Amino acid sequence: MSTDVVSPAKLASELREHWSPRVIAEVDDAYVKVAKVEGSLAWHTHEGEDEFFYVLQGTLRIEMDERTVELHAGDAFVVPRGVRHNPVAERECLVMLIERKSTQHTGSTVTDKTRSIAEQLRPL
Amino acid sequence: MSTDVVSPAKLASELREHWSPRVIAEVDDAYVKVAKVEGSLAWHTHEGEDEFFYVLQGTLRIEMDERTVELHAGDAFVVPRGVRHNPVAERECLVMLIERKSTQHTGSTVTDKTRSIAEQLRPL
């Protein structure tokens, strides 16, 4: 985390691993994270936590049981707590996320893409 | 607040009043807000709350007692709790903010620019 001015898009573009969010800022009880994503993450649910997505570059599809939304660069969307969802990027996409500090990025689902909060807090 | 995909920059660009933040999303204990700003807000402090700024368009200067930072479009910065600051935009600038729900945007300072949380929650 930085006490300086940062460019979320630049930090996201420099990530080497897909679907491995990294914390770039702490705002009270929330973390702001960036991620580089491509392909499909995993269907999962955050039972008690909302998840805010902001697309920095590219296009992100968020599949939910009831509907699917598509976010282009500059678009934002909140997946409300309890809503099962699966983020998908047909091509590489850069995103900024806001989540409560306790939020696991794949919810209660654990896959080979799951990264611990400690891993997400590694310095960039 | 919307349950649909939104464009923070578009919502901010449509605001008619400077320095009057509007809530566009709720993420657990935090609000995501947008604002159209120009000129100087007011020197103020949030004693117990951090404030995250992300510049959507234009340039924002954040003056603090110890230093001044300048954010261009796509840049982000956190003013930590307890740090006295004054946001300044020489020209019209669009920003996205993340703040705990309880945060008053001018802290304990009240000016003619101060807007209540209820005013910030008016539908866009």
Q: What is the pLDDT of residues B62-74, one digit of tens each?
A: 999 999 999 999 9
Predicted confidence (pLDDT) per residue in B47-98, tens digit: 999 999 999 999 999 999 999 999 999 999 999 999 999 999 999 999 999 9
The CA distance from B8 to B95, in Å, is 8
- What's the pTM? 0.93
Q: Do B54 and A8 touch (CB under 8 A)?
A: yes
The CA distance from B53 to B83, in Å, is 14
A52 close to A99: Cβ distance less than 8 angstroms:
yes
Q: Do A75 and B5 touch (CB under 8 A)?
A: yes
Average pLDDT across chain B, whole number: 93
Amino acid at B45: T
Q: Do B27 and A3 touch (CB under 8 A)?
A: no
Report percent pLDDT > 90 for chain B: 77
Predicted confidence (pLDDT) per residue in A16-66, tens digit: 999 999 999 999 999 999 999 999 999 999 999 999 999 999 999 999 999
- Going by C-alpha positions, the residue among B110, B88, B115 that lies closest to residue B99 is B115
- Going by C-alpha positions, the residue among A38, A8, A21 that lies closest to residue A118 is A21
Q: Which residues of A touch B3 (CB under 8 A)?
A: 78, 80
Say if residue B2's pLDDT is above 80: no
Nearest residue of A to residue B99, measured between CA atoms: A27
Q: Which residues of A touch B54 (CB under 8 A)?
A: 8, 96
The CA distance from A12 to A7, in Å, is 9
The distance in angstroms from the start CA to the end CA of chain B is 8
- Going by C-alpha positions, the residue among A112, A32, A34 that lies closest to residue B53 is A32
Q: Which residues of A touch B26 (CB under 8 A)?
A: 50, 78
Q: Write down the pLDDT at residue A3.
A: 78
Sign of CA dihedral A39, A45, B3, A32: negative
B97 close to A98: Cβ distance less than 8 angstroms:
no
Q: Which residues of B touch A98 (CB under 8 A)?
A: 27, 30, 32, 98
- Going by C-alpha positions, the residue among B25, B16, B44, B28 that lies closest to residue B96 is B25
Amino acid at A15: L
